[in-house]
């Protein structure tokens, strides 16, 4: 099969981790007789430096013309002082909105080989952590009107939070469909004791639930959810929530797995062209030092094969190779615990080991 992939290496460790993921994709081509071609896209700090814009229209067009987009990470302290609309993060938000990828899926799962790395008590980890946060990605407070005004002699900042029924319904459907393919449990997270948008959210979820009688719906307030994620994470299967709550809860969920460097994500909209990225940031402090963990990006590439290209066998091949390398005891610095006798490797060596373990299933 022929596929064309837009590649955003980005800033910090982005170029290193994406480099390893592309080698893995090339190996898939060789093993399964596919042809992947790549177009580099400038986004984030590097685009600000080169074009004076975190995502020029021509770069966005390359993404829209592709079969899917693979992204490393963007941003860094170098661009901390640039004004809001020009920040590297703005490029990412424009990309998400431009691609229409309203559904962001972030798995929180403990790898058995890394169970000791979770900061939670072993008795909690032993009950199992395997859930997925389905986050609405192109609405809510991120995309409402933003304004800073002068009023009665002081500065006032306003960020508008709005959701339409249709925006809630389409992400709700993704949540229910996802739950249907997993443990058949969905927890809708909102702040309906305070916010109108959350009351609408809750009522749409309950209306949808009638169409999914095989899926069990529960409601949870976001502050309680933040607590439950550390107290009893095994209760969750699918969590569906709005943009900003999902941003915060997905960082918390990644932390309890003990290995944020391992977690991939997918963002999808109405068609199969998706955006795939690890959930960690650009880690500028270790950029260019061959220390980064490429696994989050490599697993994101696997998700691209599975969800956008319908290549489940090829995705399994990558995921099995990652698991095999962990079984063999190889660890990048972020997932190395001192007491286990594991072998520390750098970014490139981790990529090489994964490729060496990839076998045609």
Residues labelled catalytic = 142, 191, 223, 247, 251
Distances from the Cα of 33 to the Cα of 27, 29, 36, 322, 360, angstroms? 10, 5, 10, 21, 11
92 binds, among Mg ion, ligand IPM, none (CB under 5 to 8 A by kind): ligand IPM
Of the candidates 109, 16, 21, 61, which has an alpha carbon nearest to the alpha carbon of residue 300? 21
Distance in Å, CB of 349 to ligand IPM, minimum: 28
With CB under 6 A as the rule, give the number of residues binding ligand IPM.
4
* Cβ atoms 7, 25 nearer than 8 A: no
Strand partners, 150: 155
Q: One symbol per residue from 33 to 72: x for binding ligand IPM (CB under 6 A), - otherwise; what is it?
A: ----------------------------------------
Residue nearest to Mg ion (CB): 247
Dihedral in degrees, nearest 10, Cα atoms 303, 304, 305, 309: 130
Q: According to the binding rule CB under 5 A, does residue 136 interact with Mg ion?
A: no
Residue nearest to ligand IPM (CB): 89
Distances from the Cα of 190 to the Cα of 220, 244, 286, 331, angstroms? 7, 10, 36, 37
Distance in Å, CB of 41 to Mg ion, minimum: 21
Distance in Å, CB of 289 to ligand IPM, minimum: 22
Radius of gyration from C-alpha coordinates of the chain: 20
Q: According to the binding rule CB under 6 A, does residue 89 interact with ligand IPM?
A: yes
Nearest CB to ligand IPM, comparing residues 36 and 245: 245
Distance in Å, CB of 285 to ligand IPM, minimum: 17
Nearest CB to ligand IPM, comparing residues 11 and 20: 11
Q: Which residues contact 123 (CB under 8 A, 6 or more apart)?
A: none
Grouping H, G, I as helix, E, B as strand and the rest as coil, residue 179 is helix
Nearest CB to Mg ion, comparing residues 237 and 247: 247
Nearest CB to ligand IPM, comparing residues 113 and 266: 266
Distance in Å, CB of 93 to ligand IPM, minimum: 6
> Is the Cα torsion angle 94, 95, 100, 103 positive or negative in sign?
negative
For 353, the token pair is: 């080991």
Distances from the Cα of 243 to the Cα of 198, 274, 288, angstroms? 12, 18, 32
Options 85-93, 146-154, 285-293, 305-313: segment touching ligand IPM (CB under 6 A): 85-93
CA–CA separation, 103 vs 272, rounded Å? 12
Options 40-48, 86-94, 159-167, 194-202: segment touching ligand IPM (CB under 6 A): 86-94
Buried b / exposed e over 307-341, threshold 16 CB at 10 Å, is: bbbebeebbebbbebbebbbeeebbbebbbeeeee
Q: According to the binding rule CB under 6 A, does residue 247 interact with ligand IPM?
A: yes
* Cβ atoms 149, 136 nearer than 8 A: no
Residue of 21, 47, 69, 92 interacting with ligand IPM (CB under 6 A): 92
Alpha carbons within 13 A on the beta-carbon side of 197: 19
Q: According to the binding rule CB under 5 A, does residue 277 interact with Mg ion?
A: no
Strand partners, 264: 278
Nearest CB to ligand IPM, comparing residues 91 and 351: 91
**Residue ranges in 216-255 that form contacts with Mg ion under rule CB under 5 A:** 247
Nearest CB to ligand IPM, comparing residues 15 and 91: 91
89 binds, among Mg ion, ligand IPM, none (CB under 5 to 8 A by kind): ligand IPM
Neighbours of 244 (CB within 10 A): 16
290 binds, among ligand IPM, Mg ion, none (CB under 5 to 8 A by kind): none
Enumerate binding residues for Mg ion (CB under 5 A): 247
Positions in the binding site for ligand IPM (CB under 6 A): 89, 92-93, 247
């Amino acid at each position: 099969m022929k596929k064309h992939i837009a590649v955003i290496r980005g800033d910090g460790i982005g170029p290193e981790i994406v480099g390893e993921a592309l080698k893995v994709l090339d190996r898939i081509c060789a093993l399964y007789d596919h042809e992947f071609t790549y177009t580099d896209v400038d986004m984030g700090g590097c685009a600000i430096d080169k074009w004076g814009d975190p995502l020029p229209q021509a770069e966005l067009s390359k993404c829209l013309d592709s079969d899917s987009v693979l992204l490393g990470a963007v941003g860094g302290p170098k661009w901390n002082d640039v004004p809001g609309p020009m920040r590297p993060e703005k490029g990412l938000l424009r990309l998400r909105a431009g691609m229409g990828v309203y559904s962001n899926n972030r798995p929180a799962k403990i790898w058995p080989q890394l169970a000791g790395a979770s900061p939670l008590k072993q008795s909690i980890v032993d009950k199992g952590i395997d859930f997925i946060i389905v986050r609405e990605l192109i609405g809510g407070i991120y995309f409402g009107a933003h304004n800073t005004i002068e009023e009665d002699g002081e500065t006032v900042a306003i960020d508008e939070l709005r959701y339409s029924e249709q925006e809630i319904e389409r992400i709700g459907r993704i949540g229910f469909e996802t739950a249907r393919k997993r443990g058949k449990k969905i927890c809708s997270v909102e702040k309906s004791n305070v916010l109108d948008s959350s009351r609408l959210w809750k009522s749409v979820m309950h209306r949808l639930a009638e169409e999914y009688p095989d899926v069990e719906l529960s409601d949870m307030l976001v502050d309680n959810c933040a607590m439950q994620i550390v107290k009893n994470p095994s209760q969750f299967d699918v969590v569906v929530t709005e943009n900003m709550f999902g941003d915060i809860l997905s960082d918390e969920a990644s932390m309890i797995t003990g290995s944020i460097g391992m977690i991939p994500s997918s963002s999808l909209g109405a068609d199969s062209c998706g955006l795939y990225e690890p959930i960690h940031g650009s880690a500028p402090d270790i950029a260019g030092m061959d220390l980064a963990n490429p696994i989050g990006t490599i697993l994101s590439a696997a998700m691209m094969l599975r969800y956008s290209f319908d290549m489940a066998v090829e995705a399994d091949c990558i995921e099995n190779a990652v698991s095999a390398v962990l079984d063999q005891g190889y660890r990048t610095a972020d997932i190395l615990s001192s007491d286990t006798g594991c072998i520390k490797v750098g970014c490139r060596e981790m990529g090489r080991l994964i490729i060496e373990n990839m076998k045609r299933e």
